[in-house]
């Protein structure tokens, strides 16, 4: 039940190597579920292992419950970690695997039994306590690994891609179990690493989206820190805009025509689009990027919104919805439109898109988002 503070945390693995983590400043509240997400190699595991005490902190300060952690060994931090590879002892039963850590710590027998029983209850492992790991499915093994963390009753749970070895159906089921576990345990804080933005969106109270910092000295490793809906509705830069959401946000190059207090007008492929952003201070003619999500584009030439005229290139039918891939201009990236039901157009068909100003995002030449002028859901 501890707050975790990262103060200017930096990491490099050796002098002369690039910074793996550059200036991470974060506060994870008591009992919060925080997800570190980002592309492979961006430093998620490194940041998590610094919390666990498995990696040294090169610069900056880490506090758990206001106590400095930098020099404290892992066993004294009140944390428990669950890895992607379950790392169970093959010759021990489920019960022995869960009890082992407590035995090493010298807990008494009755207490170990009580804690193992409680963890087995929470994880529905009670009927499996006498089995060996090889007699369990992948999902059950991962639950035993989580059980080993639960019996330690830590203040902070650390998960490093715990679902990566499971198949798609089991991932969803285990994801729901982890969300329930957080709810049931209540007071413990959790930090959860994944490269999967859907896992991040569904599990997190707060998301830390990391980007590789190598060679980028002037920007920190944290691309954005906030609630899932914050990152979805108010991405602060192009990297966040394109990482969160599936299919990803459409981004179209354009030029600023004029900027007013409540909105800006942008030229995109010869058509004028209004975005509800404040771009004042940027010169007319400056290059900008217009962003809009596939689910926010409207379809058809009747109704509100600025129009864009495109041609259908290709289509994917998913049953409940279809994804239409559209040519806006030769050499330009395809624009994705998401529509309900079965689309019936043929390739080459002309399509009119409509863009509502409040659904448009606008980014400057460096990829930084202009401030939105219309409030969106929290
Ligand atoms: P992620 O978990 O986001 O995939 P990691 O934290 O594992 O990323 O790695 C981040 C970067 O740090 C990578 O470029 C990786 O090669 C590098 N790295 C990780 N561990 C070490 C190490 N022990 N020594 C040197 N470089 C490392
Ligand atoms: Mg990793």
pLDDT tens profile 272-292 = 999 999 999 999 999 999 999
Same domain, 283 and 236: no
Write down the pLDDT at residue 215.
45
Domain limit, last residue, from 242, 277, 301: 242
Count CB atoms within 10 A of the CB of residue 243.
23
Q: Residue 214's pLDDT is what? A: 52
The helix or strand, by DSSP H or E, that contains position 271, with its residue range, turns out to be strand 271-275
Do 261 and 222 fall within a single domain? no
Tokens of 93: 């039963």
User: 130 and 98: one domain?
Assistant: yes
- Please measure the distance between the N-terminal and C-terminal CA atoms of the chain and give it in whole angstroms: 26
Pocket-testing residue among 16, 20, 38, ligand 1, by greatest number of atoms within 8 A of Cβ: 20
pLDDT at 246: 92
Single residue among 222, 242, 262 that ends a domain in this structure:
242
Domain check: are 231 and 258 in the same one?
Answer: no
On whether residue 256 sits in a domain, the answer given is: yes
- Closest protein CA for atom 21 of ligand 1: 13
Pocket of ligand 1 (CB under 6 A): 13, 20, 38, 40-46
CB 43: neighbour CB atoms within 10 A?
A: 22
Instruction: State how many domains the chain has.
Output: 2
Distance CA 307, CA 298 (A): 9
Same domain, 265 and 212: no
CA distance linking residue 286 with residue 106, whole number of Å: 67
Q: Strands 206-210, 33-37: parallel, antiparallel or unpaired by DSSP?
A: parallel
Among candidate residues 58, 55, 3, the one with its CA nearest the CA of residue 27: 3
85 vs 144: CA distance, rounded Å: 12
**Which pLDDT value is given to residue 123?**
85
Q: What CATH number corresponds to the domain at position 331?
A: 2.40.50.140
User: Residue 377 domain-assigned?
Assistant: no
State the residue range of the domain holding 188: 4-242
pLDDT of 177 reads 85
Centre of ligand 2 from the C-alpha of residue 208, in Å: 14
- Looking at the fold, whether 207 and 128 belong to one and the same domain comes out as yes
User: Which among 46, 197, 209 is the best mutation to test ligand 1's pocket, defined by most ligand atoms within 8 Å of the CB?
Assistant: 46
Residue 360 class from Cβ within 10 Å (0-12 exposed, 13-18 middle, 19+ buried)? buried
Specify the pTM: 0.93
Q: What CATH number is given to the structural domain containing 224?
A: 3.40.50.300
| Residues lower than pLDDT 70 in the chain | 1, 213-219, 377-378
- How many beta carbons lie within 10 A of that of residue 68, not counting itself? 12
Sequence-distant contacts of 193-196: CB under 8 A, at least 24 apart: 193/35, 193/36, 193/37, 193/44, 193/45, 193/48, 193/159, 193/160, 193/161, 194/35, 194/36, 194/37, 194/44, 194/161, 194/163, 195/37, 195/38, 195/39, 195/40, 195/44, 195/161, 196/37
Residue of 39, 41, 158, 214 with the most ligand 1 atoms within 8 Å of its CB, for mutation: 41
378 falls within a domain: no
Whether 299 is in a domain gets the answer yes
Same domain (yes/no): 320, 236:
no
Query: Which residue's alpha carbon is nearest to atom 7 within ligand 1?
Result: 45
* Helix H or strand E segment including 361: strand 361-363
Please give the radius of gyration of the chain, using alpha carbons only, rounded to the nearest integer.
Answer: 24
């Amino acid at each position: 039940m501890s707050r975790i503070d990262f103060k200017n945390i930096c990491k490099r693995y050796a002098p002369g190597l690039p910074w793996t983590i550059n200036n991470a400043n974060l506060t994870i509240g008591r009992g919060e579920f925080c997800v570190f997400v980002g592309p492979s190699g961006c430093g998620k595991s490194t940041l998590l292992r610094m919390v666990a005490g498995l990696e040294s902190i090169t610069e900056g300060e880490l506090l758990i419950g206001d106590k400095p952690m930098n020099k404290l060994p892992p066993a004294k931090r009140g944390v428990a970690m669950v890895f992607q590879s379950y790392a169970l002892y093959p010759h021990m039963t489920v019960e022995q695997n869960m009890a082992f850590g407590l035995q090493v710590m010298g807990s008494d027998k009755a207490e170990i039994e009580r804690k193992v029983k409680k963890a087995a209850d929470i994880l529905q492992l009670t009927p499996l306590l006498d089995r060996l790991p090889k007699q369990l499915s992948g999902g059950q093994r991962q639950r035993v690994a989580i059980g080993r963390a639960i019996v330690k009753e830590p203040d902070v749970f650390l998960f490093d891609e715990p679902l990566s070895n499971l198949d798609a159906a089991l991932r969803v089921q285990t994801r729901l179990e982890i969300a329930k576990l957080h709810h049931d345990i209540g007071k413990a804080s959790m930090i959860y690493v994944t490269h999967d933005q859907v896992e991040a969106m569904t599990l997190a109270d707060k998301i830390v989206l990391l980007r590789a910092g190598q060679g980028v000295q002037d920007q920190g490793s944290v691309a954005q820190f906030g609630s899932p809906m914050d990152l979805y509705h108010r991405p602060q830069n192009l990297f966040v805009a394109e990482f969160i959401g599936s299919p990803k946000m459409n981004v179209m190059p354009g030029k600023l025509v004029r900027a007013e207090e409540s909105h800006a007008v942008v030229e995109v492929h010869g058509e004028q689009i209004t975005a509800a952003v404040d771009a004042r201070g940027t010169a007319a003619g400056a290059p900008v990027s217009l962003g809009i999500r596939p689910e926010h584009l409207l379809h058809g030439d009747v109704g509100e919104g600025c129009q864009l005229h495109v041609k259908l290139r290709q289509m994917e039918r998913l049953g409940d919805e279809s994804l239409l891939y559209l040519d806006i201009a030769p050499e330009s990236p395809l624009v994705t439109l998401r529509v309900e039901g079965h689309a019936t157009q043929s390739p080459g068909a002309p399509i009119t898109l409509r863009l509502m100003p409040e659904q448009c995002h606008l980014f400057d030449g460096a990829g930084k988002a202009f401030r939105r002028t219309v409030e969106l859901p929290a």
